[in-house]
């Protein structure tokens, strides 16, 4: 897949508000929405890569998982090792136990499940967990484990049903997220079923581009960027007017 500079630019737009949110800067309470943007980007890129290889008969699950491991594991391992000495120096014994559990959960990409059971992402003590941010990586990796298998199976059976089934999956995920937001907000925030629609929206975008080609429009891009920036800074304008 060719390099997409606009996607790198979109990543930058998404990550800056997340950093400002975690830095506690006033006006960026909605910065965590940048994570949603990352999920859509991930769904788009992974689907485009898999689809291109399926069409040419070159897709291999082993090679796909190997690429994911080479991309994720080195940086993740270094990050966890860097956290170890600081946790040893600064954490109380009970905190070290929790940190050890988060290390183990992160290593097997289940940290989102662990944090769902024991953490409120927006509580003050959550900021003391150095691996809290790995929940989104776990959601992505869980998607990467299941989605290629599902897409490969659908591709071999009947291609015309792929997009309708992805739409159905996205709608079901939105329903789960809506219900969870009202009745189980922690689960809705951390767990993959209520986040799947964001990745699937990216997948559907990849199918759209594959079917109709890229629609290069500066006006449409400007409108999309304006909507994104509006959502990311919505709390800033609300706080300013109050």
Q: What's the predicted TM-score (pTM) here?
A: 0.85
For tokens 């990216």, name the residue: 202
d(CA 162, CA 149): 13
Give SS3 for 134.
Answer: helix
The predicted structure's pLDDT at residue 147? 92
The predicted structure's pLDDT at residue 240? 46
Render 87-99 in DSSP notation, one character per residue: HHHH--HHHHHHH
The predicted structure's pLDDT at residue 73? 93
Answer whether 198's CB lies under 8 Å from 43's CB.
Answer: yes
Q: What residue ranges do the domains of the chain occupy?
A: 5-241
Counting as low any pLDDT under 70, the low residues of the chain are: 1, 26-31, 119-127, 215-221, 228-242
The predicted structure's pLDDT at residue 112? 93
The predicted structure's pLDDT at residue 220? 66
The predicted structure's pLDDT at residue 75? 93
The predicted structure's pLDDT at residue 222? 72
The predicted structure's pLDDT at residue 233? 63
């Amino acid at each position: 897949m060719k390099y997409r500079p606009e996607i790198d630019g979109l990543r930058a737009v998404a990550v800056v508000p997340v950093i400002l949110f975690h830095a506690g800067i006033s006006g960026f309470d909605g910065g965590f929405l940048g994570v949603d943007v990352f999920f859509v980007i991930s769904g788009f890129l992974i689907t485009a890569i898999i689809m291109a290889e399926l069409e040419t008969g070159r897709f291999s699950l082993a090679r796909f998982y190997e690429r994911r491991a080479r991309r994720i594991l080195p940086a993740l391992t270094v990050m966890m090792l860097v956290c170890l000495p600081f946790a040893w120096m600064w954490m109380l014994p009970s905190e070290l136990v929790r940190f050890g559990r988060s290390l183990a959960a992160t290593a097997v990409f289940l940290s989102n499940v662990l944090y769902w059971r024991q953490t409120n992402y927006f509580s003050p003590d959550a900021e003391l967990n150095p691996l809290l941010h790995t929940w989104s990586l776990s959601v992505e990796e869980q998607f990467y484990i299941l989605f290629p298998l599902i897409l490969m199976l659908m591709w071999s059976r009947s291609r015309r049903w792929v997009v309708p089934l992805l739409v159905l999956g996205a709608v079901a995920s939105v329903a789960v997220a809506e219900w969870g937001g009202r009745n189980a907000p922690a689960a809705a925030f951390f767990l993959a079923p209520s986040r799947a629609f964001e990745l699937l929206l990216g997948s559907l975008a990849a199918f759209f581009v594959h079917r109709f080609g890229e629609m290069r429009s500066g006006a449409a891009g400007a409108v999309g960027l304006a909507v994104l920036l509006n959502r990311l800074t919505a709390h800033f304008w609300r706080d300013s007017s109050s």
